[in-house]
Amino acid sequence: MSTTPLPLWTREVSARRSAWYLGLTTFSILVLELAAIRWIGSQIRVFAYFANLVLMAVFLGMGLGVALGRRYPHLFEWVFPALLVLAAVLALSKQVGLMDLGFPDPSISLWGADVRMVSFGQFCLATLVVVGLFWLVTLVFLLMAIPVGWWFGQLPPLRAYTYDLLGSLIGVLAFTAVAALHLPPAVWFGLGLLPLAWVSRRWWAAFGIGVILLTGWASQGAYFSPYNRIDLATDDFFTREGQPPNPVARPEYKLSVNRDFHQHLLDLSTATVSQEPPDALRARIQKIYEIPFRLTPQRDRALVVGAGTGNDAAAALRAGFAHVSCVEIDPVILRLGVRNTRNNHTPAPTSGSSTTTPAPTSSKTIPTSTMSSATDSWTPTPCFPPCPHSVWTTTSTRSRGFVPAGSTSHRAASCPFPSRFSPATGCSTASTTRF
């Protein structure tokens, strides 16, 4: 046995409270495990492809920590400094060149991150970084699991396992709720560190504040869905490709997921493309998007699986399809598409809605679309020109077994062909009411 005096957290907790403290510790471990898997993958993109590396490091650390906890309980005091070191490395990953690190095996192809090793030294460096981060994560969770090993040695086995499983289950449910609310990493780590600080009740828990601040600083400007970190930035794609400016083109964007390019949000509307020569790059990209939808003479319905921000759905509508159903798993990407898409003739209502249109005022129909929830569909609605003040009304959708998080009533007046929706075009502004 170690002759080092027992730390205060082992002496100040009564036998009755030990079980609750064991549950708090396992709660923290599960929350921080899931937070580490997600945040490491969003800061160093190679780990987004190999999330199991982090999972294996966590399991190894937890096992070693439980084994050592009975003999070396004083090691727990180092968990907050170790976690701060890990957070600093990850938060500064871009500045130190780790964010775009390639996997050390050149035979493995990564989307946008293929590596061609030109020297043995580069191979060794990449290997050292991956292995070093693996063991750093292992060390953090080894220290975190020290109290679990200690309390398993103090409590009856059945009682210890009961509170261990209860804390773990609640931790998983808590992180699921946080992810479902699209909350950022600072909240994840705050949720996991608070119980650990309560267990330790020592000054070194103040290092946890630094961890939360670093995660918040590294996540500025990003969106977080239940699955991914998402970054959206304005992008002059056509200008970079040497194309002259288009005077009517609306703002265009680049969307990245876990630091990898995912999709461009491009203005490929007919009104914008018509302002450029037929062989211009914008026109060629528009045709590429429309190819799958022009291969069939039947233009009644189309299904887009993995709709993203809606480029393909807009292409289907331009090709003349009457109904376009879309499936998109990521609700934040869907929301950004609703907010930023400019390819539709009418402004898109909020997620989880269906659309109805007033009686026609002309026989000619122009397909338009509105975007809805991740498991719902885009519902195309006919717009009948001339209709300078046509009105569409949306109400909450509860079909196909999906219930939106919030019901929405949305009413707006719009013009069928405005280059920009503004009072100057004669269109009134939209009003939204949640209930």
Q: Picking from 15-29, 58-72, 415-429, which range would have the lowest pLDDT averaged per residue? A: 415-429
Among candidate residues 143, 27, 131, 37, the one with its CA nearest the CA of residue 83: 143
Lowest mean pLDDT among 12-16, 178-182, 195-199, 240-244: 12-16
pLDDT given for residue 359 in this prediction: 31
Three-state DSSP class for 323? strand
What predicted TM-score, i.e. pTM, was given to this entire model? 0.72
Q: Which helix (H) or strand (E) holds 294?
A: helix 281-294
Query: What is the C-alpha separation between 8 and 403, in angstroms, rounded?
Result: 50
Answer whether residue 261 is part of any domain. Answer: no
pLDDT, tens digit, for every residue of 77-135?
Answer: 899 999 999 999 999 998 888 887 766 666 666 555 555 555 677 677 778 888 999 99
Number of domains, the chain: 1
Say if CB 345 and CB 387 are below 8 A apart.
no
Q: Which position has the higher pLDDT, 9 or 416?
A: 9
pLDDT at position 15: 60
- What does the pLDDT read at residue 341? 65
Query: For position 85, what pLDDT does the model report?
Result: 95
Phi and psi angles of residue 302, each rounded to the nearest 5 degrees, phi first: -140, 150
CA distances from 146 to 69, 78, 207, 265 (A): 4, 10, 18, 49
pLDDT single digits (tens) 262-287: 888 888 888 899 998 888 999 999 99
Contact by Cβ (8 Å): 343, 313: no
What secondary structure does DSSP assign to 68-102, as a single string? HHTT-GGGGGGHHHHHHHHHHHHHTTTTTT-TTPP
262 within some domain: no
- Is residue 252 situated within a structural domain? no
pLDDT value for 12: 58
- The sheet with strand 253-257 has its strands ordered as 223-224, 229-234, 253-257, 260-265
As a whole-number percent, the residues of the chain with pLDDT over 70 amount to 71
The answer as to whether 380 is a domain residue is no
Mean pLDDT, residues 414-434: 28
Least confident of 24-33, 123-132, 142-151: 123-132
Average pLDDT, the chain: 75
Asked if the structure places residue 346 within a domain, the reply is no
For the beta carbon of residue 99, count every other beta carbon within 10 angstroms.
16
Higher-scoring residue by pLDDT: 170, 199: 170
Average pLDDT for 175-199: 93
Q: What is the pLDDT of residue 111?
A: 58
pLDDT in tens, 45-86: 888 878 889 999 999 999 999 999 888 888 998 999 999 999
Average pLDDT of span 372-400: 31
Q: What is the mean pLDDT of residues 21-48?
A: 91
Is the pLDDT at 362 greater than 70? The verdict is: no
Cis omega before residue 386 (within 30°)? yes
Percent of the chain with pLDDT over 90: 33
392 touches 381 (CB < 8 A): yes
* pLDDT of 278: 86
Q: Is residue 17 part of a domain?
A: yes
Token digits of residue 3:
């002759």
> What is the model's pLDDT at position 214?
94
219-247 residues labelled b (16+ CB within 10 A) or e (exposed):
beebbbbbebbbbbeebebbeeeebeebe
- Whether residue 242 has pLDDT greater than 90: no
Return d(Cα 384, Cα 390) in angstroms, integer: 8
User: 200: domain range?
Assistant: 8-220
pLDDT value of position 416 = 29
Does residue 221 carry a pLDDT above 80?
yes
Determine, yes or no, domain membership for 164.
yes
Mean pLDDT of 304-318: 88
